[in-house]
């Protein structure tokens, strides 16, 4: 059997530093991917919300146009020389009953 070389403290520290550097790089990569995902998700949400609002407005306009009552001609009154209201009668004098 081959004898194992004893590990020195320097070699062990180097391995620990390499592992820490690897974990740090992995965390940075995870954070960067999370940020990109959140930006993408927010963009999708804003676009979807805008599409929904625009669709609601368009549907209201189409519904209002489709259900609008057709204008019907209104009867017109031909102008005459006579007054539009009959004159009020003049009150007549009546006898007051004696009391």
- Give the total number of structural domains in the chain: 1
Q: What is the pLDDT of residues 48-74, one digit of tens each?
A: 999 999 999 999 999 988 887 777 777
CB within 8 Å of 30: residues ≥ 6 apart: none
Q: Does residue 46 sit within a domain?
A: yes
Instruction: Report the Cα 35 to chain-centroid distance in Å.
Output: 25
Q: Does residue 76 sit within a domain?
A: no
Phi, psi angle pair for 94, to nearest 5°: -120, 155
Q: What's the pLDDT at 6?
A: 63
Please give the C-alpha separations between residue 60 and each of 49, 64, 71, 80, 83, in angstroms, as whole numbers.
17, 6, 20, 46, 47
- The residue segments making up the domain with residue 51 are 9-67
Task: State which H helix or E strand residue 82 sits in.
Answer: none
Q: Does residue 73 sit within a domain?
A: no
- The answer, as to whether pTM is greater than 0.85, is no
Q: Does residue 99 sit within a domain?
A: no
The Cα angle at residue 28 between residues 26 and 29, in degrees rounded to 5: 65
């Amino acid at each position: 059997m081959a004898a194992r070389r004893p590990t020195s403290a320097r070699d062990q520290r180097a391995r620990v530093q390499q592992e820490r550097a690897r974990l740090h790089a992995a965390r940075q990569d995870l954070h960067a991917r999370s940020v990109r995902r959140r930006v993408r998700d927010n963009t999708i949400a804003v676009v979807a919300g805008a599409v929904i609002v625009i669709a609601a407005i368009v549907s209201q306009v189409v519904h209002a146009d489709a259900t609008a009552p057709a204008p019907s001609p209104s009867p017109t009154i031909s102008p005459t020389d006579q007054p539009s209201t009959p004159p009020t009668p003049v009150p007549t004098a009546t006898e007051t009953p004696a009391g």
